[in-house]
Structure 1
C-alpha cells in the first residue's frame, strides 16, 4: 500500500478556524534574534522512520526560517507515553506530539474511524478521508474541546500481528492470547472481537513485556517491529494487514496562535519535508522487511484477512453510532 507523494493542505479547514488562546512561545535569543522554539514529544524510537522525518522537519524549519524557528525533538517516550503527552499538548505545556486516530478517538470518538480495521484501500484513499466533512468536523471539535489542532498525517505503515508461541492464521487462533494494543478503545474492541485478551500499554513498555511473557504478542507495522527489535522476542509474523495507519501530529492551540500566518506556512512547509522523508523510508522498509525477517529466522504466516474482516461485522455495526450513520460507507466509497 503506497502513499501518494504530493501533499495537499488536507487539514486546512480544521486548522483555519479561529480560537482564542494565549499567544505564548518558549524561546531564547540567538544573537539579537528571538528564536521561536517548539517542543515535539513522541514515543517513536530514535532510529525509526518517523523520528528521522521529524529530525528532517527540524532541519527544514531552521533553514526555511533563517534560524528564527526551532523544533526540539524528544523521541522514545522521554516526555511520557502517548496519552500523557496528549494531555500536555491539551494543557499547552507541550507544543506537539504525534499519535494515531485511534488514540485521538479517546478524546473525540468519531476520529477513530480513520484507524478502523480494514478501512482504506491504500494511503491515497486514506488521505481523501481526511478531507471528508464529517472528519473535518471532528478535527474542529478536537481543536475546540481539547485545545489541539491536527496537522497533515504521516504514513506509519500497515499493521500486522506478531506472536511468540503460536501462528495466527484465523481469528480463532488468537483466543485467550494477551495481545498488546495502543491505549485506545477501538483497538481494545477489535482485539476482543478477534477473541484475544487486549492489553493496552505504551510502546516503550512493549519489548520488556514480550520478553518477560507479560504479553503473548503485539501488532504494529513492519518498520515499527524492526525499529523496536520485537522479533528478538517474537517468533511469528502474522500478515493480518488489519489496519492502514496514518499518524497525526497535533499542535497546541497556544503554540499555533502564537505564530504569525507567515510562520505557520514556514512550519507547514518544514513538516511536509519531514513527512515526505518519513513516508519514503516507511515504504522502502515495508518493501524489504518481510524477506529480511524471514532470513533471520522469523516465521512468516499468511493470515486469512477476509476471516479477520468478517469477525468485525458486529463491531462495525456498534460503531455506527460513534462514527455517524453512513459515514463509514461514504468513506469507503471515496
Structure 2
C-alpha cells in the first residue's frame, strides 16, 4: 500500500511539474508574440506637454501602436531632443529618423511647394483649413512631398494662426499697422505681408524678442497664443487681434526607404494614424490657443479683438500685392491650388 501511495504521489507531482512547464512555455510564446516586429523613431520640436505639436506627436505614437496591436513600437522624441526642425528634416532624408512632424515654413526649404502656406490669408478659419487639409486638395499637396529624395508625404495639418500683437494700439483695420515696427519670421512672404500693411518688419531672434518688445526695439510680434503666452509677451504688449494673417501649418512625413520596406498593412496604419494626428493638432491649436488667450486676459488685462469674418476683406485687399508678386513664381498646378483654396474661403468671410 505504501509503495502504491508513493507511486501515486510521484505521478501527481510529475503531472503538476509538466503543467507548470507547459504554462511557462506558453507564457514565453505569448511574450514573444507581443514583442514588436518593427520599431520607429518619431521626432518633433514641440515645446512641452501642452504644445499642439507634442499633443499631436503623442496622438500619432499612440494611434500607430493601437492600430498595429503592438506590432509597431514608436520611440517618441519631442522638445527638440534630436535637434531643430532643419536637423529633423535632414534626419528624415538620411534615414536616421523615421517619422517627423513640423512646420511648413522650414519644410519649404526642402519642398518648395510648401511655400503655398506662406501666402497671407490663404486660410481664414479652422473649417476652411480642414476642408482643404483632409480633402482632395490636401491630398494633392501632400503628394508633392514624394517628388523629393528621402521623403514620403503622409498628411498636412495646422489650424492655428500667427496673430498680430503689439504694445501701441488695437489693430482693427489695415491702417492700424502703419508706422509700427514688427518682428516677423525671416520668410520673404511674411516680410512683404507686413510691409503691405504699412508696418516695418524687423528681424529679431525669437529668444531676444521679449527684451526687444520691452525696450521698444520692436512694437509688435506675430505668433499663436499658445506660443505667445509661455514666452510672456503679454507682459510687454497690450493688444492682440485674432487676425488670420499667416497659418501655422505642419507636415507629417516618413523616410522614403523605411516606407518602401513596410508591409501594406503597416503602410495603411502609418497613413491612417497621421490623419488622426493631424486632426489632434488642429484641436490642440483651438483648445490651447483659447486657454492661453484667457490666461493672458486674466493676468495682465490683455485687450483681445476677435475680428469678425465680415471685417477681413480690407486686410485681404491690402495684401493683394504679395499674391501678385509670389503667385507667378509657383508652378502652374500650385498656382491653381492656391486660387482654389482662396475661392473656398469666400464663404467664410
TM-score with structure 2 setting the length: 0.71
State the match for 2:329 in structure 1: 322
Pick aligned residue for 2:319 from 289, 312, 318: 312
1:1-334 equivalences under 5 Å are: 33-130=36-133, 139-175=142-178, 177-199=180-202, 215-226=218-229, 228-287=231-290, 289-296=292-299, 297-301=301-305, 305-323=312-330, 324=332, 325-334=335-344
Q: The residue matched to 2:48 in structure 1 has which SS?
A: coil
Q: Residues 319 and 226 (structure 1 numbering): CA distance in 2 closer, same or farther, change over 3 Å?
A: same
Task: Tell me, in whole angstroms, the C-alpha distance in 1 between the residues paired with 2:314 and 2:217.
Answer: 27
Q: Distance in 2 between matches of 1:83 and 1:205?
A: 21
**8 Å CA contact 1:103, 1:182 repeated in 2:** no
CA distance in 2, matches of 1:121, 1:163: 21
List per-residue Cα deviations over 1:285-330 (Å, max 9, x = no partner).
4555544432321122466644432221111111221233554333
Counterparts of 2:229 and 2:123, CA distance in 1 = 24
Q: Secondary structure at the match of 1:144?
A: coil
Q: Structure 1 58/203 Cα, relative in aligned 2: closer, same or farther at 3 Å? A: farther
Counting matched residue pairs gives 305
Structure showing greater Rg? 2
Once residues 95 and 212 of structure 1 are traced to their aligned partners in structure 2, the CA distance between those partners, rounded to angstroms, is 43
For the residue of structure 2 that corresponds to 1:151, the secondary structure is strand
Change (3 A) 1:96 1:163: farther
| Structure 2: runs of 5+ lacking an equivalent | 1-31, 345-349
The offset of 1:107, in angstroms, is 3.2
Distance 2:223 2:274 in 1: 24
| CA RMSD of superposed structures (Å) | 3.5
* CA–CA distance in structure 2, aligned partners of residues 208 and 97 of structure 1: 32
Residues 157 and 282 in structure 2, CA contact (< 8 A), matched pair in contact too: yes
Question: 1:138/1:78 Cα in 2 relative to 1: closer, same or farther (>3 Å)?
Answer: same
CA distance in 1, matches of 2:46, 2:202: 18
Gaps of 5+ in 1: 1-28
Contact 2:143–2:153, Cα closer than 8 Å, also in 1: no
Structure 1: distance between partners of 2:100 and 2:43: 5
Structure 1 distance, partners of 2:67, 2:212, is 42
TM-score, normalised by the number of residues in structure 1: 0.74
The structure richer in helix per residue is 2
- For the Cα contact (< 8 Å) 1:115–1:245, is it kept in 2? no
